[in-house]
């Protein structure tokens, strides 16, 4: 299986954090399940699967879609060969790119094949005509650059500041500090954050804390679980375990036994 992570070029650096490529051609039609947990990032996914891609084994997904904040743990299920391209967007970028309220796509997705705007129909036709995964990546990349600069789209700098501060902070008082630095009321901040990011700032901060602990657990960069709890600002090991189970459905120990999937 080809698994590659690419950083976007300078023209997309304000909107796209990274691009993940998964390309698998197994000799037999095996079943594949890819777990996905909260990471604070929306994304654009293009996929080609022999027998379709399903969400939690029940809902068939479009070949090309925008997904919002993922709070609840999910699985993507495929049988046979599959090709997946994910453009991971920054937390506040989807609302600007597609002119929507991000809370509308939290824990769900928007079928881009049905959206007759922004030149998406032409892009999808080109993606389907291309047999090269690298050409498909270039097509999405070129579409985004043309769309952003052709429409003079700009990231909201207040939200950019807030997201960066929350993603890098373990201080429970940071929300108040951020509001004071932006000089906006709590109500305005909560509303604007939900519009741009899709969830409340407190939940976003908790997801960032969880994701940092998940990465540390997966990288086996600890001696005992209490190390992860302390390193990521949890009150204690029990607090860490409760939070981890909320976002994955598994305890950290059980997760370590069962789960292996490509790093982001």
CATH number of the domain within which 247 lies: 1.10.10.60
**Contacts by residues 145-154 (CB-CB < 8 Å, ≥ 24 positions apart):** 145/11, 145/12, 146/119, 147/97, 147/118, 147/119, 148/11, 148/12, 148/15, 148/97, 149/11, 153/15, 153/96, 153/97, 154/96
Q: What is the pLDDT of residue 264?
A: 42
pLDDT in tens, 179-198: 999 999 999 999 999 999 99
The structural domain count of the chain equals 2
| 41-98 pLDDT tens trace | 999 999 999 999 999 999 999 999 999 999 999 999 999 999 999 999 999 999 999 9
What is residue 263's predicted lDDT score, i.e. its pLDDT?
43
Q: What is the pLDDT of residues 197-249, one digit of tens each?
A: 999 999 999 999 999 999 888 887 777 888 899 988 898 999 999 999 999 99
* CA geometry: angle 198, 104, 117, nearest 5 deg: 115
Residues 145 and 15 in one domain: yes
**Of the candidates 149, 166, 161, 64, which has an alpha carbon nearest to the alpha carbon of residue 115?**
64
- Residue 104, domain extent: 2-150
Domain limit, last residue, from 150, 170, 194: 150
- Does 263 fall in a domain? no
Tell whether 143 and 15 lie within a shared domain. Answer: yes
What is the pTM for the complete model shown? 0.92
Contact indicator for 172, 208 with CB cutoff of 8 Å: no
> Are 167 and 123 in a shared domain?
no
Does the pLDDT of residue 35 top 60, yes or no?
yes
């Amino acid at each position: 299986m080809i698994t590659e992570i690419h950083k976007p070029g300078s023209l997309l650096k304000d909107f796209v954090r990274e691009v993940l490529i998964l390309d698998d051609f197994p000799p037999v039609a095996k079943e594949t399940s890819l777990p996905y947990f909260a990471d604070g990032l929306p994304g654009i996914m293009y996929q080609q699967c022999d027998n379709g891609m399903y969400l939690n084994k029940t809902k068939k997904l479009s070949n090309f879609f925008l997904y919002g904040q993922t709070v609840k743990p999910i699985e993507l299920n495929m049988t046979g060969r599959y090709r997946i391209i994910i453009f991971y967007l920054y937390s506040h970028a989807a609302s600007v790119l597609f002119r929507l309220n991000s809370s509308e796509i939290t824990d769900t997705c928007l079928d881009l094949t049905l959206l007759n705007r922004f030149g998406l129909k032409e892009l999808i036709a080109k993606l389907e005509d291309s047999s090269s995964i690298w050409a498909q990546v270039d097509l999405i990349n070129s579409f985004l650059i043309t769309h952003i600069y052709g429409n003079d789209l700009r990231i909201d700098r207040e939200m950019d500041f807030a997201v960066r501060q929350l993603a890098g902070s373990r201080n429970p008082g940071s929300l108040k500090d951020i509001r004071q630095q932006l000089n906006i009321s709590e109500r305005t901040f909560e509303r604007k954050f939900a519009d741009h990011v899709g969830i409340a700032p407190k939940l976003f901060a908790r997801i960032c804390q969880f994701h940092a602990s998940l990465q540390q657990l997966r990288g086996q960069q600890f001696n005992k679980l209490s190390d992860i709890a302390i390193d990521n600002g949890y009150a204690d090991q029990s607090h860490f375990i409760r939070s981890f189970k909320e976002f994955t459905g598994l305890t950290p120990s059980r997760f370590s036994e069962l789960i292996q999937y490509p790093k982001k």
